[in-house]
Amino acid sequence: MKIKNEYDVVVVGIGPAGSSAARVCAEAGLSVLAVEKRAEIGSPKRCGEGLGKPTLKRMGLELDEKWVSQPMTGATVYSPNMKHVRVDYDDVCGWIIERKVFDKWLASKAADSGATLVTRTEVVGMKREDGRVRVSMMHNHRPLEVTAKIVVAADGVEAKVPRMLGFDTHLPLIDICSCVQFEMANVKIDPDRTEFFFDQEKSPGGYVWIFPKGKSTANVGIGVRKPWSKKLAYEYLEDFVHAHPGLKGGSIVEVNGGGVPVGGLMENMVADNMVIVGDAAHQVNPIHGGGIGEAYVGGKLAGQVVVEAIKAGDLSEKFLSKYNSLWWDMRGNKMKKILKLRKVLESMSNDELNWLIDYLKSEDLVELSHGGGLKALATLLMKKPRLILMAKKLL
Ligand X SMILES: Cc1cc2nc3c(=O)[nH]c(=O)nc-3n(C[C@H](O)[C@H](O)[C@H](O)COP(=O)(O)OP(=O)(O)OC[C@H]3O[C@@H](n4cnc5c(N)ncnc54)[C@H](O)[C@@H]3O)c2cc1C
Residues 6+ apart with CB under 8 A from 238: none
Is the C-alpha dihedral spanning 184, 189, 191, 196 positive or negative?
negative
Smallest gap from Cβ 147 to ligand X, in A, equals 16
Question: Out of 22, 25, 35, 135, which residue is the one contacting ligand X (CB under 6 A)?
Answer: 35
Per rule CB under 6 A, is residue 36 in the interface with ligand X?
yes
Question: Out of 28, 31, 48, 189, which residue is the one contacting ligand X (CB under 6 A)?
Answer: 48
| Nearest residue to ligand X on Cβ basis | 291
Per rule CB under 6 A, is residue 263 in the interface with ligand X?
no
Smallest gap from Cβ 35 to ligand X, in A, equals 5
* Contact pattern from residue 164 through residue 193 relative to ligand X, giving x for each residue in contact according to CB under 6 A and a dash for the rest: ---------------x-x------------
Per rule CB under 6 A, is residue 266 in the interface with ligand X?
no
Residues 6+ apart with CB under 8 A from 97: 49, 50, 51, 67, 68, 69
Smallest gap from Cβ 171 to ligand X, in A, equals 13
Nearer to ligand X, 48 or 250 (CB): 48
- The residue count for the chain: 395
Listed ranges 142-150, 152-160, 200-208, 305-313: which one lies at the site for ligand X (CB under 6 A):
152-160
Say if strands 207-212 and 193-197 run parallel, antiparallel, or are unpaired: antiparallel
Report whether 266 contacts 199 (CB < 8 A).
no
Per rule CB under 6 A, is residue 49 in the interface with ligand X?
yes
SS3 170: coil
Question: Out of 8, 30, 115, 155, which residue is the one contacting ligand X (CB under 6 A)?
Answer: 155
Per rule CB under 6 A, is residue 94 in the interface with ligand X?
no
Listed ranges 33-41, 168-176, 266-274, 347-355: which one lies at the site for ligand X (CB under 6 A):
33-41
Strands (E), 23-120: 32-35, 50-52, 68-72, 74-78, 84-88, 94-97, 116-118
Listed ranges 40-48, 225-233, 267-275, 323-331: which one lies at the site for ligand X (CB under 6 A):
40-48
Q: Between the CA atoms of 220, 259, 102 and 116, what dihedral angle is there, to the nearest 10 degrees?
A: -160
Report whether 149 contacts 169 (CB < 8 A).
no
Kindly determine how many residues on this chain lie close enough to bind ligand X according to the rule CB under 6 A.
Answer: 38
Nearer to ligand X, 153 or 377 (CB): 153
First to last CA, the chain: 55
25's enclosing H/E stretch is helix 16-27
Question: Out of 206, 258, 332, 371, which residue is the one contacting ligand X (CB under 6 A)?
Answer: 258
Question: Out of 7, 10, 13, 24, which residue is the one contacting ligand X (CB under 6 A)?
Answer: 13
Q: Is 198 exposed, middle or buried (0-12, 13-18, 19+ CB in 10 A)?
A: buried
Report whether 174 contacts 226 (CB < 8 A).
yes
Residues of span 117-136 touching ligand X by CB under 6 A:
122-123
Per rule CB under 6 A, is residue 8 in the interface with ligand X?
no
Per rule CB under 6 A, is residue 37 in the interface with ligand X?
yes
Q: What one-letter code names the amino acid at 345?
A: L
Per rule CB under 6 A, is residue 212 in the interface with ligand X?
no
Q: Which of 309, 310, 327, 326 is nearest to 318 (CA)?
A: 309
Per rule CB under 6 A, is residue 156 in the interface with ligand X?
yes
Residues of span 329-388 touching ligand X by CB under 6 A:
none
Residues of span 272-291 touching ligand X by CB under 6 A:
278-280, 284, 289-291
Listed ranges 10-18, 60-68, 373-381, 384-392: which one lies at the site for ligand X (CB under 6 A):
10-18
Say if strands 132-139 and 121-129 run parallel, antiparallel, or are unpaired: antiparallel
Per rule CB under 6 A, is residue 50 in the interface with ligand X?
yes
- Backbone φ and ψ for 348, nearest 5 degrees, come out as -90, 145
Per rule CB under 6 A, is residue 303 in the interface with ligand X?
no
Give the C-alpha separation, 104 to 97, whole Å.
12
- Where along the sequence are the contacts to ligand X (CB under 6 A)? 12-18, 35-38, 46-50, 122-123, 154-156, 160, 179, 181, 221, 257-258, 260, 278-280, 284, 289-293, 295
